[in-house]
Amino acid sequence: MQEMLRDGQECDVLVIGSGAGGLATAVTAAKHGLDVVVIEKEPVFGGTTAFSGGVLWVPGNRHCGVPDSRDEARRYMREETGNFYDAAAVEAYLETGPEMLDFFERETEVAFVPTLYPDYHPTVPGGVETGRSVLAAPYDTTGLGKDMARLRPPLKTITFMGMMFNSSNADIKHFFNATKSVTSFAYVARRLAAHFVEVLRYGRGTKVTSGNALAARLAKSCFDLGIPIHTSAPADELLSGPGGVTGAVVAAPSGKVTIRARKGVVLAAGGFARDLEKIRKAYPHLRRGGTHVTPVPEGNTGDGIDLGVAAGGKFDLRFANTSAWMPVSEVPSGKGRTIAFPHLLDRYKPGIIAVLKDGRRFTNESESYHDVGAALIRACEGEAETACWLVADRRALAKYGLGFAKPSPVPPQLFKRTGYLKSGKTLAELAAACGIDPAGLEATVAGYNATARQGEDPEFGRGSTAFNRYLADPENTPNPCVAPLEAGPFYAVKVVMGDLGTFDGLETTVEGQVLDRQGAAIPGLYAVGNDRASIMGGNYPGAGITLGPAMTFGYITGRHLAGAA
């Protein structure tokens, strides 16, 4: 059981939020001798990090395996951030990011493994085709002891019977090939058997990967240092005095308590993706009456930003893309409810295209989720609804699945029965079932197929970059992203806009001190993670550009609080 918060309790640093940014700050500050307390609004810890892919974008990291030039990384950041390029913050990030990784791997339970992720725009000057992204190593959550029950579970829609996939093409490929390969069948059987044993013993899978592993490793590092993580303990207001922010009033389970912080309060509450008032102002598709379905935790209601603004902090909606866009579909979960499914893998596969209600394609489906989301918002300008349909033929569905609809041998009828998956013997029948213009869809598929048979996509250049090809099907030649849609019946899933978190946040110094409207630092008040304005300026240059800065600037902030930087 977690210890009780006491009224009048004191510490050096109070961290509000338990995602990667907050916990990285807490661990760093504690490692440098400070007394730290973490409070979390929700009954589970891990924040959005626990739902994430667990990838960090850190140019020049020692896991790269290939040489990486800081000059080239700086050039890429300048190209990607445009008018929002912050030279001082970028320099601190590029210099400190590799140091941060080394510190956490040397001093804590946190561990990473290399990935082959290309930058999302590898053809942009300074972009690279591999090496800048690292992934949290898998973790056995039994290491958390009784606190395992307080770790946020992974997002349901991206697990298989509660089991997490390793974030690698090889792992997922075994599941796709389980009915076609003895090796893959044996691999899947072993994974499932081990998972069922874990569930019977602990009530949940204990072998976690991706962001769930990162959140667990950071939490274990906190516990090892004696840092308490108090869950179900939202901050109601900040305490201020002549010397700045001095603590917070917390709605603990036992009642409201006051916590004093001698060095500072750190806002790390995850941004405002669930703050309906803010996102209605910020999101163009909501302003015109569309739908937005986010998979981020329900607690991300902008609390940290609101606390910062109440203390005099500066917050504006500045970026053209306020959030990290994620195309999602709504999976029926019973009693009229739905769960968001993020389309992370299917869009890259051959035999799958995305069309608007007029049947037209509107973008390269194999670009990043953020780029596809931004393209969808632009394509639906002037429309009340911002939505598209992912369309696949029988062969593509059987091999790759489509959204939450699983590949063969899982029967598509399971997903058709709930209304999630639409089908038709012909493209015209499918269009009628979806509300798509039949003539438009038929014309689009005919035009696409004419060049797709040769592996070409002259309209949008699908498969033309290393990133396009990374999550595609290397067995499909000559282009791993492109194949015709010819084998009926045809299937479709409706896709609407979602996000992975917000980019706009409180303005800060490089060290994380929250700035007021006059540009002066507010003593005792800091912001990290999505409560702090993104260094990326509303763009999405590569896998892990949220968690990389969250942990790097958390490390910088923790050192600053301890007087070590």
Give residue 182's pLDDT: 79
Q: Map residue 232 onto helix, strand or coil.
A: coil
Give residue 551's pLDDT: 98
Identify the CA nearest to 423 among candidates 433, 436, 414, 408. Answer: 433
Question: Rounded to an integer, what distance in angstroms lies between the CA atom of residue 414 and that of residue 406?
Answer: 9
Query: Which contiguous run of DSSP H or E holds residue 71?
Result: helix 70-81
In this structure, the strands spanning 521-527 and 255-267 are parallel
Q: For the chain, how long is the longest CA-to-CA vector?
A: 72
Q: Map residue 539 onto helix, strand or coil.
A: coil
Would you give the end-to-end CA distance of the chain in angstroms? 35
CATH architecture label of 324-499 = Alpha-Beta Complex (3.90)
Give residue 187's pLDDT: 72
Alpha helices in 121-253 (DSSP H): 169-176, 182-202, 210-224
Question: Rounded to an integer, what distance in angstroms lies between the CA atom of residue 282 and that of residue 560?
Answer: 32
One digit per residue, pLDDT tens: the chain, 565 residues?
A: 567 899 999 999 999 999 999 999 999 999 999 999 999 999 999 999 999 999 999 999 999 887 899 999 999 999 999 999 999 999 999 999 999 999 999 999 999 999 999 999 999 999 999 989 999 999 999 999 999 999 998 877 766 666 666 655 566 666 666 667 778 778 777 877 777 777 787 777 788 889 999 999 999 999 999 999 999 999 999 999 888 999 999 999 989 999 999 999 999 999 999 999 999 999 999 999 889 999 999 999 999 999 999 999 999 999 999 999 999 999 998 888 999 999 999 999 999 999 999 999 999 999 999 999 999 999 999 999 999 999 999 999 999 999 999 999 899 999 999 999 999 999 999 999 999 999 999 999 999 999 999 999 999 999 999 999 999 999 999 999 999 999 999 999 999 999 999 999 999 999 999 999 999 999 999 999 999 999 999 999 999 999 999 999 999 999 999 998 6
Strand partners, 230: 39
CA-to-CA separations, 148 to 139, 203, 216, 541, in angstroms, rounded: 12, 11, 8, 34
What residues does CATH 3.50.50.60 cover in the chain? Answer: 1-151+205-318+503-565
Query: Which contiguous run of DSSP H or E holds residue 493?
Result: strand 490-502
CATH architecture label of 1-151+205-318+503-565 = 3-Layer(bba) Sandwich (3.50)
Give residue 23's pLDDT: 98
Give residue 434's pLDDT: 98
Q: Strands, DSSP E only, in 275-386?
A: 323-334, 337-342, 352-355
Burial 349-359 (b: 16+ CB within 10 A, else e): bbbbbbbbbeb
Query: DSSP secondary-structure letter at 3?
Result: P
Give residue 533's pLDDT: 98
In this structure, the strands spanning 255-267 and 9-16 are parallel
The amino acid sitting at 179 is: T
Give residue 487's pLDDT: 92
Taking a C-beta distance cutoff of 8 angstroms, is the pair 440, 358 a contact? yes
Give residue 78's pLDDT: 98
Question: Rounded to an integer, what distance in angstroms lies between the CA atom of residue 540 and that of residue 547?
Answer: 12
CA-to-CA separations, 471 to 115, 170, 341, 344, in angstroms, rounded: 12, 11, 17, 9
Q: Map residue 387 onto helix, strand or coil.
A: strand
What residues does CATH 3.90.700.10 cover in the chain? Answer: 324-499
Cis peptide before 489 (omega within 30 of 0): yes
Q: Map residue 284 onto helix, strand or coil.
A: helix
Question: Rounded to an integer, what distance in angstroms lies between the CA atom of residue 142 and that of residue 148?
Answer: 7
Number of other CB atoms surrounding residue 458 within 10 Å? 10
Burial of 93 (0-12, 13-18, 19+ CB in 10 A): buried
Taking a C-beta distance cutoff of 8 angstroms, is the pair 158, 341 a contact? yes
Residues in Cβ contact with 545 at an 8 Å cutoff, skipping those fewer than 6 apart: 57, 536
Alpha helices in 413-532 (DSSP H): 413-416, 427-434, 438-452, 466-470
In this structure, what token pair is assigned to residue 23?
């916990």
Identify the CA nearest to 46 among candidates 304, 344, 279, 299. Answer: 299
Question: Rounded to an integer, what distance in angstroms lies between the CA atom of residue 348 and that of residue 344?
Answer: 8
Taking a C-beta distance cutoff of 8 angstroms, is the pair 363, 375 a contact? yes
Burial of 200 (0-12, 13-18, 19+ CB in 10 A): exposed
